[in-house]
Amino acid sequence: MSEPIVWLTIFVLSVFVGIEVIAKVSSTLHTPLMSGANAIHGIILLGAVIVTGSTDNAVATAVGLVAIVLAAVNMVGGFVVTDRMLVMFTRRKPMKRDEVGR
């Protein structure tokens, strides 16, 4: 297979997987799911790091650093806020009573 076809294949399969894995989500979880997916696209941080690390132009470096800060806010903040929401869902189990104290 030529390279563009490989990428297209990965893309199309990912579309189907993306829909399939969340197809049965209950409306209760819409907000955390949206928030978690939001955190996952913070992985653009990886792209920002690679691009910034491979330029020697000062302006490009500065722009890249801004992109890194923004992407890190997205990724770290997204996962932390999602976890805060989900703690509240798990805490109602009587077994986990000790988690309540925060």
Does position 30 interact with other proteins (CB under 8 A)? The reply is: yes
SS3 of 5-45: HHHHHHHHHHHHHHHHHHCCCCHHHHHHHHHHHHHHHHHHH
Q: Which of 1, 2, 5, 25 binds other proteins (CB under 8 A)?
A: 25
Q: Which of 1, 5, 23, 95 binds other proteins (CB under 8 A)?
A: 23
Find out whether 87 and 98 touch, Cβ atoms under 8 Å: no
Q: Which of 1, 2, 3, 5 binds other proteins (CB under 8 A)?
A: 3
What are the counts of helices (DSSP H) followed by strands (DSSP E) for the chain?
5, 0
Find out whether 89 and 32 touch, Cβ atoms under 8 Å: yes
Judged by CB under 8 A, the number of residues near other proteins is: 82
Does position 10 interact with other proteins (CB under 8 A)? The reply is: yes
Q: Which of 1, 2, 4, 98 binds other proteins (CB under 8 A)?
A: 4
SS3 of residue 4 by DSSP? helix
Q: How far is the CB of 3 from other proteins (least distance, A)?
A: 7
Does position 65 interact with other proteins (CB under 8 A)? The reply is: yes
